[in-house]
A and B are shown apart, each in its own frame.
Chain A
Amino acid sequence: SESVRSDGSFNESLRNTSHQLVITEICFKSKCYFRNEINVQKNDKGDCFHQPRVRGEDSFEEAPMYVAVLTYMNYGIVILFGYFRDFLRAVGLEKCHQAQEREEQKDFVPLYQDFENFYKRNLYTRVRDNWNRPICSLPGPVFDIMERVSDDYNWTFRLTGRTVENVINMGSYNYLGFAENNVDLLKTVAEETRQYGVGVCSTRQELGNLSIHEKLERLVAEFLGVESAMAFGMGFATNSMNIPALVGKGCLILSDELNHTSLILGARLSGATIRVFKHNNMQSLEKMLKEAICSGQPRTHRTWKKILIMVEGIYSMEGSLVRLPEILELKKKYKAYLYLDEAHSIGAVGPIGRGVTEHFGVDPNEVDVLMGTFTKSFGAAGGYIAGKKELVDYLRSHSHSAVYATAMSPPVVEQIIRAIKCIMGVDGTTEGQRRVRQLAENTRYLRSRLKKMGFIIYGNQDSPVVPLLLYLPGKVGAFSRAMLKRKIGVVVVGFPATPITEARARFCVSAAHTREMLDKVLQSLDELGDYIKVKFSRHRSSYRPELYDETDFELDS
Chain B
Amino acid sequence: MDMKNMRENMGWLYYQYLLITGIYVLEPWEQSIFNTLLFTMVAMVIYTSYVFVPIHVRLALEFCMISPITYGHFFAINVLVITG
- Chain A interface residues (CB < 8 Å from chain B): 70, 73-75, 77-78, 81, 84-85, 123, 126-127, 153, 472-475, 477-478, 531-533
Q: Taking CB as reference atom, which chain A residue is nearest B28?
A: A153
- Interface members, chain B 26-57 (any A CB < 8 Å): 26-27, 30, 34
Distance in angstroms between the alpha carbons of A472 and B12 in the assembled complex: 17
7 A–B contact pairs at CB < 8 A?
Answer: A77-B23, A85-B30, A123-B25, A474-B22, A474-B24, A477-B25, A531-B12
The distance in angstroms between the C-alpha atoms of A126 and B26, with both chains bound, is 7
A126 CA / B27 CA spacing, docked (Å)? 8
**Chain A: which residue is nearest B24 at the CB level?**
A474
Residues of B within 8 A of A472 (CB): 19-20, 22
In contact, A475 and B27 (Cβ under 8 angstroms): no
CA distance A473 to B20 in the complex (A): 9
Please determine whether B30 and A81 come into contact, CB atoms closer than 8 angstroms: yes
On whether A153 and B22 interact (CB within 8 A), knowing A531-B12, A533-B16, the answer reads: no
Q: Is the CB of B12 within 8 A of A473?
A: no
Q: Could you tell me if A73 and B22 are in contact, using CB atoms closer than 8 angstroms?
A: yes
Q: Hey, which bits of chain B sit against chain A, CB under 8 A?
A: 12, 16, 18-27, 30, 34
Given contacts A77-B34, A81-B30, contact A474 B25 (CB under 8 A): yes
Are A74 and B27 neighbours in the complex by a CB distance under 8 Å? no
B26 touches A78 (CB 8 A): yes
Per a CB cutoff under 8 Å, which of B12, B16, B24, B26 touches A81?
B26
Candidate in A70, A73, A81, A475 with the most chain B CB atoms within 10 angstroms: A81
Q: Ordered nearest first, which 6 A-B pairs have the shortest CB separation?
A: A74-B22, A474-B24, A126-B25, A474-B19, A474-B22, A77-B22
Name the residue in B18, B20, B27 with the highest tally of chain A Cβ atoms < 10 Å from its Cβ: B20
**Judging by beta carbons under 8 Å apart, are A78 and B19 in contact?**
no
With CB as the reference atom, state the residue of chain A lying closest to B27. A153
**B contact residues around A127 at 8 Å (CB):** 25
Query: Are B22 and A473 in contact (CB-based, < 8 A)?
Result: yes
For the complex, give the distance between the alpha carbons of A532 and B20 in Å. Answer: 10
With a CB–CB cut-off of 8 A, which chain B residues contact A77?
Answer: 21-23, 34
Q: Is the CB of A75 within 8 A of B22?
A: yes
The residues of B that contact A478 with a CB separation of less than 8 Å are 19, 24
- A123 proximity list for chain B (CB < 8 A): 25
- CB-defined contacts of A81 to chain B, threshold 8 Å: 26, 30, 34
B22 partner residues in chain A, CB cutoff 8 A: 73-75, 77-78, 472-474
Q: A123 to B30, alpha carbons, bound, how many Å?
A: 14
Contact yes or no, A78 B20, CB < 8 A? no
Given A74-B21, A81-B34, A478-B19, 7 new contacts (CB under 8 A): A75-B22, A77-B34, A81-B26, A81-B30, A85-B30, A472-B20, A473-B22
A475–B25 touching, CB < 8 Å:
no
Within 8 Å by CB of A473, from B16, B25, B34, lies B25
- Chain A residue numbers with a CB within 8 Å of B20 are 70, 74, 472, 474
**What residue of chain B has the Cβ atom nearest to residue A475's Cβ?**
B19
A478 to B23, CA, bound (A): 11
Minimum distance in angstroms from B5 CB to a CB of chain A: 15
List of A residues within 8 angstroms of B34 by Cβ: 77, 81
Q: How far is the CB of A71 from chain B (nearest CB, A)?
A: 9
- Within 8 Å CB of B24, what residues of A? 474-475, 477-478
Given contacts A77-B34, A531-B12, contact A474 B27 (CB under 8 A): no
Give the chain A neighbours of B26 by CB distance below 8 A: 78, 81, 126
- B16: which A residues are within 8 A, CB to CB? 533
A306 CA to B25 CA, complexed, in Å: 50
Docked complex Cα distance between A410 and B24 (Å): 49
Known: A472-B20, A474-B19, A475-B19. A78 touches B12 (CB 8 A): no
Q: How far is the CA of A405 from the CA of B25 in the complex (A)?
A: 43
Cα of A472 to Cα of B25 in the assembled complex, Å: 11
Question: Which residue on A lies nearest to B25, using beta carbons?
Answer: A126
In chain B, what residue has the closest Cβ to A77? B22
Separation of A264 and B51 alpha carbons in the complex (Å): 62
Contact A474 B12 (CB under 8 A): no
Q: For the complex, give the distance between the alpha carbons of A112 and B23 in Å.
A: 25
Q: A304 to chain B: closest CB distance in Å?
A: 48
Most interface-central of B16, B19, B26 (chain A CB within 10 A)? B19
